[in-house]
Structure 1
């Protein structure tokens, strides 16, 4: 896991990422009314309950899990604003119970927990993965979630809690694929706000499920961005499946980068 000179430790990272999501959650509640607020609260309660239950079953000391809260809020923001309140709670239960704890938790997590929960729930509700594009009254209403997510993401990059190469590569790949497919600037923004920005800064760039080195990290961002852009062009914006496929390739990307680094180092030593 990448270390930050400002904040160290997985718990601290999760705590600051939760705080970075608060502006986006606030904007969502202001624009969407009481439904997204109830969904966020219910998802938080579900995350705490499942996290405590899993710790109890594993005979561990029961402590509040910041990773569980982070997972719950990412799930909430990934779902359509007008989705039923219980949907966020159900996806959070699957995300924390299976995505976070079934793999051992912490550094052992291979797949992004929030995307695991949404992907599993979509097996029973196929329409869930469409990620309904929010209908904004005007450009100003679209501007606020964009500013909230961008400012939070830039702050995380500045604090070195995430690497800037991953969100930059993801957003670049999505934009190139969609513009090449005939998307206009306004239609591109409707894809990037809020799901694209959320994916770039809080899902694709998540340190525990992304490559540990810069070069494979950039490849990971480009790959997931291109696949997501291609899926949007074909009216199947399945972000969860795209991210999980990318997570599956992370060990191979890291191994390739380390092997290449060792080979070049050996060549320099012998030359």
Structure 2
């Protein structure tokens, strides 16, 4: 199964955010920043564990030469590279072409990266820093199955620690594996819908317990003769294929049966 791929372009004029309200993860449709900030940075992103993250630089920065460093949250906020080690760099060389971030930097949790030029952190203070939230993916029971059984969307929200299934209409269950044909109650005229438990929406997966004299989805009267037999002392008037009432004879009264 193809994993999601998120591409970040490091540029001084493109996707730099300077306040929480400006930060929006266009890949997921969620506001990604969980903490307020008052410094410029590349818009934060949220990833599922297992997603691919690609980094690239515009032509100006390629010629300038930048390297990416993994840092702590405090060093991210202060743009500090104090005590940097070679094994903290995402790549041993400057970013020249589109580069894929190694999976070891994208384990579940919060990850913080800053850009350096020959050890200088000025690029970071201008906004070339990125915080990434990597979340556990809980949208399928097996790698061989489709996300959310193909019946929903794998999504997350601000503050949540994982991606979960948001099921399409009439589907439920942790992986949207359950189909409920009775959710909208297709049985008319106060009929009761009973689901047979089938998960295949292409087959009839329910039956209706109908009031007397109704059939199919409780929408059809069982013949005009039966309609007449309902009214003991009167005439049955069929209003529509799904409704009727009794017109009482002179001297008789009672509740008109109107569904």
- Report the TM-score when normalising by structure 1: 0.24
The structure whose residues are more often strand, as a share, is: 2
Q: Per residue, is there more helix in 1 or in 2? A: 1
Larger radius of gyration: 2
Higher relative contact order (CA 8 A, sep 6+): 1
For normalisation by structure 2, the TM-score amounts to 0.25
